[in-house]
Amino acid sequence: MKQGLNSTNKVKPTARKVGLILIGDELLNASREDKHMQTVIDMLKKRGMKLSWMHLIGDDEEELISLFGKTMATTDVVFSCGGIGATPDDLTRECAAIASKQAIVRHPEAQALIEGVYGERAYPDRIIMGDFPEKAEIIPNPINQMPGFSVANHHFVPGFPSMAKPMIQWVLDTKYQHLFSNSPDIEVRWDLHEVGESDLMPTMTNLLDCFPGVGLSSLPSGAKQGWLIDFGLKGQRSKVEEAASWFEDQLQSLSVNYDYRGESG
């Protein structure tokens, strides 16, 4: 393992959390399966970023306003998928306006886009998709031209994955290139054999104390797997490299058998 980790002097940009909100009763009742989270994780990883949190929430006005209010009080970059259509259960636009303490108004550029696609058929219902918080900026939709919108570091896109993906990519590449990193966090993992988590508690505690900025995960498989533990360390390469070498030294001193499984970004 020690030979597989190479140090780098590249500087990582200032960290900023990225969150994801998935909206829709159909997700909570399992009539539809989420296809957004893994896509967003992959898009962020390609840019040296990571997803810090995710909320799955139904079409409930009070809960949406409360959630948006809490997340808008942070500096987090937030992507919200769903609820910006024209049907009565699409509550995201109004809730985002209330949470951001803005009036909801018809965005002239969004209005022009919707009229350009539907003409007279934009009225009276489809045009509602152009009603955004008054300070909102539109997010272009290359699939059907119905725009999303951005407000307070929050970026609202449709629930359709085929539309959400290019719209989120556009937001990342247009607004957040300064957060991209060419030295993203890495993760290294081991299989630890015939040892229980309780036997490693002091080692894990010491590791976290000695190497701030390095996170760990310990996933035991139980007696049926011979007390196998899937163990990992994650963080910036230089810190993980140092912590990993220390950890292997501790395993050897405890006579714990292990297999190094490799590194991932």
How high is the pLDDT of residue 10? 44
pLDDT, tens digit, 9 for 90 and up, residues 22-73: 999 999 999 999 999 999 999 999 999 999 999 999 999 999 999 999 999 9
Domain 186-264 annotated CATH 3.30.365.10? no
Assess contact for 57 and 21: CB atoms under 8 A. Answer: yes
Give CA–CA dist 134/100, Å, rounded: 10
Delimit the domains of the chain by residue range.
Answer: 2-179, 186-264
181 or 120, which is more confident? 120
Strand partners, 23: 57
Residues facing residue 154 across a β-bridge: 78, 151
Distance CA 247, CA 203 (A): 8
In the CATH scheme, what architecture does the domain 2-179 have? 3-Layer(aba) Sandwich (3.40)
Instruction: Determine contact, residues 57/63, Cβ cutoff 8 Å.
Output: yes
Torsion over CA of 204, 210, 214 and 219, rounded to 10 degrees? 0
Question: What digits encode the pLDDT tens for the residues 79-131?
Answer: 999 999 999 999 999 999 999 999 999 999 999 999 999 999 999 999 999 99
Strand-pair partners of 259: 191
Chain centre to alpha carbon of residue 166: 16
Q: Among residues 72, 80, 71, 65, which one has the least CA distance to residue 152?
A: 72
* Mean per-residue pLDDT of the chain: 92
* 60 closest CA partner among 86, 32, 31, 90: 90
CA atoms within 13 A on the CB side of 231: 25
pLDDT per residue as tens digits for the range 3-20 = 444 434 444 455 689 999
